């Protein structure tokens, strides 16, 4: 009896061990099946019952030695069935959604439809007119288009990127169309009409664009949320003068993007394809569009709000960088590029021997601008009357004009001079020395590829009593604007060439050659735009003491008196210069005009040649005698009063 109990106990332990091993093996086989295969098979009608049977594993409540063998047989059968199903699901091809829907159980139909609908809206590469999902999604449509949006001007979304020490920024034209930097390649020039076309790919509701049709570097991606109802009519693009067809779409952040193409049928095809993806029916533009009726209709929520008190919402103006900037805090409160830029101006220029000598010289071409008949400017610096003005703006003397002249660089870039600024003391220093005054001429790029670039030319002045300067004299410094009267009409034409006119008798019709520094910098006033070529004359000029003092005093806010007679003392800081900025490893070049252009010629007056001659002149004079007797003077005769007063045919008397 004891022996039988031992055999029974041993047999029980062996069977228990075998059962545990069988369960572990079954679990491992299940884990080998991937999640995607499981979900796919779970949604299949021929597999759903088996899957449910696999999920539900029978466990006997009471174990019996007699049922041991049959239990083991059932476990082996389940393992074989599971292995066959795994192999079958691995090699069979996916069926269409319509076949699956007919074969699936009603219980899992809603789950399956929801899974497919959600996938259709999110996954790229899905054709809206079918339910096939490719293993390697490909773009549905590809074409060359232009793209325009105000978003490109937002620094927060498209900041400047530092590449090898140089700031790179997205460039756009006046209509906010993005410019393709790769357009300089010969293949693109022969294929496209201008530099605003990019290669677009449409994948689901996602738009991607690159510089070329072979580039894998995606420049931008737009997830389409909605579209305008109709195509924009064909019209000429103001910036390129080409006929384009456009449509407007909105992304998930409600930003508008304008897409334009050359061929109307291609643009319409894209427009209708996007409407198909958005499940929007458009019989006017897209009569062949297919709308998925399986999608549930949008849910309409009615909400009634009782207004007990009217509320007026007034939008506030968004704050911009450096609003109402001044020099009162010595520019420490300037923001954005003025604070974060790495190529800022002005700088402390090195000694000539420490600069890199260069033979590159641009052409400085300037002409006189008259005091009248000038082209009005948008900001009102020149009014409708066309009169030239000297303006005190941001406590800085400024002169605006459509064109004072231009700079032409060696590579063909053209910059037009549009503004003249007068700073005191000087902004640039030379070897640590600051000068009394600096005149800066600001230029804007007008040639292709230079629209967003600037150039500046500066001249430094030091005080020397009694010195003459032609440009300073033309400003009429005895009648300058001031904080109480900020504009004065100029009385003489403005000619930048006169800056180098040091003698009143000089006749300067063109810019006299001069030596100068040059480096890559920025504007010295907000917005402190970088990518600016800076030229600074290396030889300081001279200005008289009286002219300098009057210019400096004109910018000071005077003391005032209130209605009670109290004196309000002004604490205005009388400076109009920005402190020097870090060089940050930038090279500084120097051009020596004496080597390439020669020194300034010493023109001596030509001495007259010939002789002197004398000529005797005779003339008749008249005088009045206060009695009736002749005076008796030699060669004098009594004449009538008419002849003496020049009345009648007689010669006129000379006084």
State residue 129 phi and psi, 5-degree precision.
-90, 0
State residue 40 phi and psi, 5-degree precision.
-60, -50
Same domain membership, residue 341 and residue 262: no
Same domain membership, residue 154 and residue 228: yes
Same domain membership, residue 157 and residue 101: no
Closest CA to 151 of 243, 264, 252: 252
Q: Give the residue from 576, 596, 616 where a domain finishes.
A: 596
pLDDT-based confidence at residue 438 (cuts at 50, 70, 90): very high
Same domain membership, residue 220 and residue 97: no
Q: Give the residue from 226, 252, 277 where a domain finishes.
A: 277
Task: Indicate whether 305 belongs to any domain.
Answer: no
| CB-CB neighbours of 405 under 10 Å | 22
Q: Which residue range forms the structural domain that includes residue 381?
A: 337-596
What is the per-residue pLDDT for 516?
96
Report pLDDT digits (tens) over 144-170: 999 999 888 888 788 877 766 777 788
- β-strand pairing of 487-489 with 389-393: antiparallel
Task: Indicate whether 105 belongs to any domain.
Answer: yes
CA atoms of 534 and 517, how far apart (whole Å): 8
Strands (E), 464-615: 487-489, 516-521, 532-537, 541-543, 560-561, 567-568, 589-591
Same domain membership, residue 184 and residue 96: no
Same domain membership, residue 534 and residue 403: yes
pTM of the model: 0.47
Q: For residue 398, give the CATH number of its domain.
A: 3.10.200.10
CA atoms of 369 and 631, how far apart (whole Å): 64
DSSP per-residue letters across 11-61: HHHHHHHHHHHHHHHHHHHHHTS-HHHHHHHHH-HHHHHHHHHHHS----S
Same domain membership, residue 148 and residue 81: no
Task: Indicate whether 50 belongs to any domain.
Answer: yes
What is the distance, to the nearest Å, from the Cα of residue 196 to the centroid of all Cα atoms in its chain?
15
Task: Indicate whether 438 belongs to any domain.
Answer: yes
- β-strand pairing of 532-537 with 454-463: parallel
Same domain membership, residue 175 and residue 93: no
E strand or H helix at 204: none
Domain count, the chain: 3
CB 21 within 8 A of CB 27: no
Query: Of the spans 287-291, 323-327, 391-395, 533-537, which averages the highest pLDDT?
Result: 533-537
Task: Indicate whether 178 belongs to any domain.
Answer: yes
Report pLDDT digits (tens) over 493-543: 999 999 999 888 777 778 889 999 999 999 999 989 999 999 999 999 999
Report pLDDT digits (tens) over 94-117: 343 344 444 444 444 444 444 334
Omega cis (within 30) before 287 = no
CA atoms of 57 and 173, how far apart (whole Å): 69
Task: Indicate whether 36 belongs to any domain.
Answer: yes
Same domain membership, residue 51 and residue 170: no
Residue whose pair of structure tokens reads 């004359």 in the numeric block: 537
Same domain membership, residue 565 and residue 424: yes
Q: For residue 166, give the CATH number of its domain.
A: 2.30.29.30
Q: SS3 helix, strand, coil % of the chain, rounded to 5? A: 25, 25, 50
Report pLDDT digits (tens) over 564-575: 888 877 777 788
Tell me the three state secondary structure of residue 381. coil
Task: Indicate whether 308 belongs to any domain.
Answer: no
Same domain membership, residue 212 and residue 95: no
Same domain membership, residue 524 and residue 588: yes
The answer on pLDDT for 61 being more than 50 is no
Task: Indicate whether 294 belongs to any domain.
Answer: no
């Amino acid at each position: 009896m004891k022996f039988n109990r031992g055999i029974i106990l041993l047999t029980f332990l062996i069977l228990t061990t075998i059962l545990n091993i069988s369960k572990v093996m079954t679990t491992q086989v299940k884990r080998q099946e991937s999640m995607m295969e499981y979900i796919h098979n779970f949604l299949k009608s021929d597999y759903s019952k088996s899957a449910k049977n696999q999920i539900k594993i029978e466990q006997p409540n009471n174990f019996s030695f007699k049922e041991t063998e049959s239990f083991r047989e059932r476990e082996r059968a389940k393992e074989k069935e599971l292995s066959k199903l795994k192999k079958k699901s691995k090699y069979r091809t996916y069926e269409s959604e319509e076949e699956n829907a007919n074969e699936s159980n009603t219980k899992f139909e809603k789950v399956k439809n929801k899974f497919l609908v959600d996938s259709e809206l999110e996954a790229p590469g899905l054709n809206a007119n079918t339910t096939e999902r490719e293993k390697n999604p490909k773009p549905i449509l590809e074409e060359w288009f232009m793209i325009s949006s105000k978003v490109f001007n937002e620094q927060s979304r498209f900041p400047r990127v530092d590449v090898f020490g140089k700031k790179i920024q997205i460039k756009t034209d006046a209509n906010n169309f993005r410019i393709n930097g790769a357009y300089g390649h010969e293949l693109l020039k022969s294929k496209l009409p201008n530099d605003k076309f990019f290669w677009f790919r449409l994948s689901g509701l996602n738009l991607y664009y690159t510089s070329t049709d072979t580039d894998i570097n995606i420049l931008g991606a737009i997830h389409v949320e909605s579209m305008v109802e109709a195509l924009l009519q064909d019209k000429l693009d103001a910036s390129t003068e080409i006929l384009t067809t456009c449509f407007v779409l909105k992304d998930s952040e409600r930003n508008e993007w304008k897409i334009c193409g050359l061929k109307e049928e291609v643009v319409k095809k894209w427009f209708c394809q996007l409407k198909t993806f958005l499940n929007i029916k458009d019989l006017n533009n897209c009569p062949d569009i297919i709308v998925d009726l399986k999608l549930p209709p949008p849910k309409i929520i009615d909400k009634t709000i009782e207004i007990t008190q009217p509320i007026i919402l007034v939008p506030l103006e968004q704050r911009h960088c450096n609003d109402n900037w001044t020099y009162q805090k010595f520019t420490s409160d300037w923001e954005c590029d003025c604070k974060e830029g790495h190529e800022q101006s002005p700088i402390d220029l090195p000694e000539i021997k420490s600069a890199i000598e260069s033979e590159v010289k641009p052409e400085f071409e300037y002409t006189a601008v008259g005091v009248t008949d000038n082209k009005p400017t948008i900001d009102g610096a020149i009014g409708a009357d066309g009169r030239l003005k000297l303006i005190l703006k941001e406590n800085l003397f400024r002169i605006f004009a459509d064109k004072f002249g231009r700079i032409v660089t060696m590579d063909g870039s053209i910059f037009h001079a549009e503004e003249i600024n007068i700073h005191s003391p000087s902004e640039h220093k030379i070897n640590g020395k600051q000068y009394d005054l600096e005149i800066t001429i600001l230029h804007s790029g007008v040639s292709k590829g230079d629209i967003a670039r600037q150039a500046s030319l500066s001249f430094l002045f030091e005080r020397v009593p009694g010195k003459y300067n032609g440009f300073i004299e033309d400003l009429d410094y005895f009648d300058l604007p001031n904080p109480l009267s900020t504009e004065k009409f100029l009385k003489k034409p403005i000619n930048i060439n006169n800056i180098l006119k040091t003698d009143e008798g000089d006749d300067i019709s063109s810019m006299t050659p001069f030596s100068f520094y040059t480096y890559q910098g920025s504007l010295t006033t907000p917005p402190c735009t970088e990518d600016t070529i800076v030229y600074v004359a290396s030889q300081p000029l001279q200005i008289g003491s009286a002219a300098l003092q009057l210019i400096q005093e004109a910018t000071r806010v005077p003391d005032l008196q209130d209605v009670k007679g109290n004196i309000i003392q002004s604490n205005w800081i009388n400076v109009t210069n920005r402190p020097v900025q870090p060089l940050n490893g930038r090279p500084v070049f120097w051009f020596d005009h004496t080597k390439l252009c020669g020194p300034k010629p010493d023109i001596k007056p030509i001495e007259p040649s010939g002789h002197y001659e004398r000529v005797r002149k005779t003339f008749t004079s008249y005088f009045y005698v206060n009695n009736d007797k002749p005076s008796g003077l030699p060669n004098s005769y009594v004449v009538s009063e008419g002849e003496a007063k020049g009345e009648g045919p007689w010669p006129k008397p000379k006084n």
